[in-house]
């Protein structure tokens, strides 16, 4: 199906793909659909006229408006029964499952188990093809745990009878990608960048739009079935060159000084303090910089002949997407590691044992008030006392929490599961309610609710903090924060009302 109008064309990555949509492909399954790549692949497939079944671990209803037309179903790849139901009736599946959020100790085990389950159930359900996006890196060399795991997942999937197309990519650059945000924040915040020895290794960054084109193209070019391909952008660069080019594009004067002996562990820790990407992810990604990740086989070029973007073009497109507030997926979209334990406020057995609520009455409209509290956090901040919120965020980051530096994907709109600094949206009801679940390091579970209620011809705006703890430390924390909450929440209400 051709895109219909020029604005739609500019939104789509695959409009100039040299392949045609596959006839009779049946329903295409996208696993890892809530992730950075999966979330961009689903709309492209829908726009090309495919029927799509997306699997997620969260609430499928949360994706109702994100991918109209797609069937969204809940499945955890660690549970074979879930996969059996999800893969029933499917012939072609994308495998984009990855658990990097679990951190260095946990993700490898989880990823290999998920891949083995997927292979087994795919074979049992008679799938005809799997398409997997993995990582570049020479498997004969000593790879970082992250790159090794990408290769192990490919090998695990290929052990079955279902043919697997493997696409291997290095760093993916696009608005919202973890690597892009790390580079951007380092360049924006540091006047002096110390360059470790491994920053001279070579990499072939690829733009997210080209990755999506290769993924869709692999589906539409039957000769890719069962084969492995390296995919990359136009340039081969060292990581230092990537930082320098970014700095020049931002018209910044950055001093680059060699610092050959800095241990990667320290670098990863400081990178996580200065960038929105949490330590669990940045450490795994930075470890991978010790390996050269460039394309060794260019067979994909003859099957999918299009010119990929240069590194500069990738950056410029990402910057302009951010500028226009059109970041469609972000690394933070995949769930927090503790998602299984993050019971919703309405799911906890006993009501939250500590609550505090503040409210004010206003003549302003419910729409205005709702719009105002949906703009909190990120680059706009928290109306007043931003330094206090930022201080709390920095303390959280020092202890490897999410921190306020995590920001938000869009500064103008929110949906369920989006992050807002160290919170995540748990519920949102148009012109009524925003419920945020805390993901900072605290001895308990916490939520912050914003509500606007109609009372005759006046509106009541409330901010309510809920806290659930059983530990002594948790109780001390609550009472220690109370005076601060009193001060901060009152002013937060004023700020919301003023901008409403």
Binding positions for ligand NAP, rule: CB under 6 A: 32-38, 56-58, 76-78, 96-100, 114, 133-135, 150, 169, 172, 177-179, 331, 334-335
Which residue, 141 or 386, is less far from ligand NAP as judged by CB? 141
Which residue, 152 or 421, is less far from ligand NAP as judged by CB? 152
Only one residue has tokens 């260019």, namely 298
- Max CA separation in the chain (angstroms): 72
Q: Which of 121, 219, 133, 207 is nearest to 168 (CA)?
A: 133
CB of 55 to ligand NAP, least distance (A): 6
CB of 164 to ligand NAP, least distance (A): 13
Residue whose CB is nearest to ligand NAP in the complex, by number: 35
Give dist(CA 366, CA 2) in Å, integer.
40
CB of 111 to ligand NAP, least distance (A): 8
Only one residue has tokens 């696009």, namely 174
Which residue, 77 or 87, is less far from ligand NAP as judged by CB? 77
CB of 99 to ligand NAP, least distance (A): 5
Which residue, 157 or 452, is less far from ligand NAP as judged by CB? 157
What are the residues whose beta carbons fall under 8 Å from the beta carbon of 161, sequence distance 6 or more? Answer: 123
Measured in degrees and rounded to the nearest 5, phi and psi for residue 275 equal: -125, 160
Which residue, 77 or 315, is less far from ligand NAP as judged by CB? 77
What are the residues whose beta carbons fall under 8 Å from the beta carbon of 373, sequence distance 6 or more? Answer: 434, 450, 452, 461, 496, 500
Which residue, 45 or 100, is less far from ligand NAP as judged by CB? 100
222 DSSP assignment: G
Which residue, 76 or 385, is less far from ligand NAP as judged by CB? 76
CB of 174 to ligand NAP, least distance (A): 8
CB of 95 to ligand NAP, least distance (A): 8
Using DSSP, state whether 352 is helix, strand or coil: coil
Give dist(CA 352, CA 217) in Å, integer.
50
Which residue, 58 or 443, is less far from ligand NAP as judged by CB? 58
Which residue, 336 or 432, is less far from ligand NAP as judged by CB? 336
Q: What is the DSSP string of 170-194?
A: S-EESTT-HHHHHHHHHHHH-SEEE
Determine the angle formed by the axes of helices 279-287 and 178-189, rounding to 10 degrees: 100
Give dist(CA 289, CA 194) in Å, integer.
15
CB of 32 to ligand NAP, least distance (A): 3
Measured in degrees and rounded to the nearest 5, phi and psi for residue 451 equal: -140, 145
CB of 331 to ligand NAP, least distance (A): 6
Torsion of Cα atoms, 148 then 153 then 156 then 157, to 10°: -150
CB of 171 to ligand NAP, least distance (A): 6
CA 325 to chain centre: 16
For the beta carbon of residue 384, count every other beta carbon within 10 angstroms: 16
Inter-residue contact 21 to 1 (CB < 8 Å): yes
135 DSSP assignment: E
CB of 295 to ligand NAP, least distance (A): 13
Which residue, 87 or 178, is less far from ligand NAP as judged by CB? 178
Measured in degrees and rounded to the nearest 5, phi and psi for residue 120 equal: -65, -45
Burial tier of 132 (Cβ tally within 10 Å: 0-12, 13-18, 19+): buried
């Amino acid at each position: 199906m051709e895109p219909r109008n020029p604005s739609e064309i500019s939104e789509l990555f695959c409009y100039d793909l040299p392949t045609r949509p596959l006839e009779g492909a049946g329903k295409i399954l996208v696993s890892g659909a809530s992730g950075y790549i999966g979330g961009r692949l689903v709309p492209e497939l829908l726009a090309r006229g495919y029927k799509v079944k997306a699997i997620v671990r969260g609430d499928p209803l949360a994706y109702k408006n994100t991918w109209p037309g797609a069937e969204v179903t809940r499945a955890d790849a660690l549970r074979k029964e879930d996969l059996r139901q999800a893969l029933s009736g499917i012939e072609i599946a994308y495998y984009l499952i990855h658990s990097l959020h679990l951190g260095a100790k946990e993700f490898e085990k989880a990823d290999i188990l998920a891949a083995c389950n997927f292979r087994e159930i795919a074979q049992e359900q008679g799938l005809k093809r799997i398409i997997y996006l993995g990582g570049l890196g020479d498997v004969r060399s000593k790879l970082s745990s992250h790159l090794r795991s990408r290769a192990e997942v490919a090998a695990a999937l290929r052990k079955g009878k279902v043919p697997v197309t493997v696409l291997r990519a290095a760093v993916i650059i696009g608005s919202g990608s973890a690597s892009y945000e790390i580079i951007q924040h380092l360049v924006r915040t540091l006047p002096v960048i110390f360059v470790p020895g491994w920053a001279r290794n070579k990499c072939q960054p690829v733009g997210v739009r080209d990755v999506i084109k290769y993924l869709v193209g692999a589906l539409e070019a039957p000769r890719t079935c069962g084969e492995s391909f390296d995919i990359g952008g136009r340039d081969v660069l060292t990581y230092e060159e990537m930082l320098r080019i970014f700095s020049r594009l931002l018209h910044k004067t950055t001093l680059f000084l060699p610092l050959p002996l800095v241990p990667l562990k320290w670098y990863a820790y400081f990178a996580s303090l200065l960038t929105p990407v949490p330590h669990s992810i940045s450490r795994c990604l930075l470890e991978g910089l010790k390996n050269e990740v460039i394309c060794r086989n260019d067979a994909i070029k003859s099957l999918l002949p299009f010119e990929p973007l240069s590194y500069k073009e990738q950056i410029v497109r990402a910057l302009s997407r951010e500028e226009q507030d059109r970041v469609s997926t972000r690394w933070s979209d995949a769930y927090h590691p503790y998602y299984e334990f993050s019971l919703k406020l309405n799911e906890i057995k006993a009501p939250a044992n500590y609550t505090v609520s503040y409210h004010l009455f206003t003549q302003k409209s419910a729409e205005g008030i709702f719009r105002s509290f949906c703009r909190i956090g990120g680059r706009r901040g928290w109306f007043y006392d931003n330094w206090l919120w930022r201080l709390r965020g920095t303390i959280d980051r020092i202890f490897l929490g999410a921190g306020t530096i995590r920001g938000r994907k869009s500064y103008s709109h929110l949906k369920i599961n989006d992050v807002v600094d160290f919170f995540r949206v748990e519920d949102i009801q148009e012109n009524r309610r925003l419920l945020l679940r805390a993901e900072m390091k605290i001895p308990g579970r916490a939520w912050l609710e914003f509500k606007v209620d109609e009372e005759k011809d006046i509106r009541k705006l409330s901010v309510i903090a809920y806290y659930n703890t059983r530990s002594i430390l948790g109780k001390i924390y609550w009472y220690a924060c109370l005076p601060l909450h009193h001060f901060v929440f009152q002013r937060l209400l004023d700020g919301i009302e003023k901008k409403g």
